[in-house]
Amino acid sequence: MILLVAVVAGLIAALIRSWICHSKFISFDIQAVWLVFAAFLPQYLAFSLRATRERVPDSWIPFILIGSQLLLLIFVWINRKKPGMWAMGAGLFLNFLVIALNHGFMPLSPETAQKLIEPGVTVSLTIGERVGFGKDILLLVESTKLWFLSDIFLLPHWLNYRAAFSVGDILISVGAFLFLWSLGGSSQRESAEVKNAENI
């Protein structure tokens, strides 16, 4: 959800920037886009698509998550000279690290999980088990390695949408915003600086 907000905000900001600077909207100039689709598809099938997610064994989730993170890290490295990619790479690495150290799942504390439940709804939460059909595993804070990198943040109540996210998710969203913002065009000076940076 936080990434979606960043993408929408980045596109709007890029359009405004293009209009203010009277510059053309720059086309996507990125390499190995297929890596993003290769990373997204397994997660979509395992977490989002109702027809398939119920058939994906929990034992497959660590391989799907870690494999997807590695593909995205490779994608970011290939495009590392593009705006925002270092922030995205840092976020992906932090998520990869905490997932790899906690049984291949993103840790979620019982306290945070309880806040995600709608008022009046009763849900049985079991420590050490996967939460629903998502990427999270319910772990006590004291049992979580690098707990501060896990899903510890919640969206504000006024958004009327319940979701938890991590520090890594924030950095990924910042990187996505910066990349999309850069598509709004730039001044001649900024273009020269970018070209010089790419030649280094």
132 pLDDT band, cuts 50/70/90, is: confident
In the predicted structure, residue 162 carries a pLDDT above the cut 90: no
* Residue 195 is assigned to a structural domain of this protein: yes
Between residues 179 and 5, which one has the greater pLDDT? Answer: 179
Q: Is the overall model pTM greater than 0.75, yes or no?
A: yes
* Residue 71 is assigned to a structural domain of this protein: yes
Q: What is the pLDDT of residue 40?
A: 93
Chain mean position to CA 166 = 9
114 pLDDT band, cuts 50/70/90, is: confident
Burial of 7 (0-12, 13-18, 19+ CB in 10 A): middle
CA distance 137 to 60: 14
Q: What is the pLDDT of residue 7?
A: 74
Q: Are 173 and 6 in contact (CB under 8 A)?
A: yes
* Residue 181 is assigned to a structural domain of this protein: yes
Between residues 120 and 165, which one has the greater pLDDT? Answer: 165
92-115 burial string, b = 16+ CB within 10 Å, else e? bbbbbebbbebebbbbbbeebbee
* Residue 120 is assigned to a structural domain of this protein: no
* Residue 134 is assigned to a structural domain of this protein: no
In the predicted structure, residue 191 carries a pLDDT above the cut 60: no
Distance set, CA 4 to CA 10, 80, 84, 112 (Å): 10, 21, 16, 21
Element (H, E) at 170: helix 167-182
Domain span at 177: 2-105+147-199
Between residues 3 and 112, which one has the greater pLDDT? Answer: 112
Neighbours of 91 (CB within 10 A): 24
* Residue 132 is assigned to a structural domain of this protein: no
In the predicted structure, residue 187 carries a pLDDT above the cut 50: no
* Residue 155 is assigned to a structural domain of this protein: yes
Looking at 22-161, list the stretches that DSSP marks H as alpha helix, in order from N- to C-terminal side. 34-43, 50-53, 61-78, 85-100, 110-116
* Residue 152 is assigned to a structural domain of this protein: yes
Element (H, E) at 18: helix 2-21
Number of folded domains that form the chain? 1
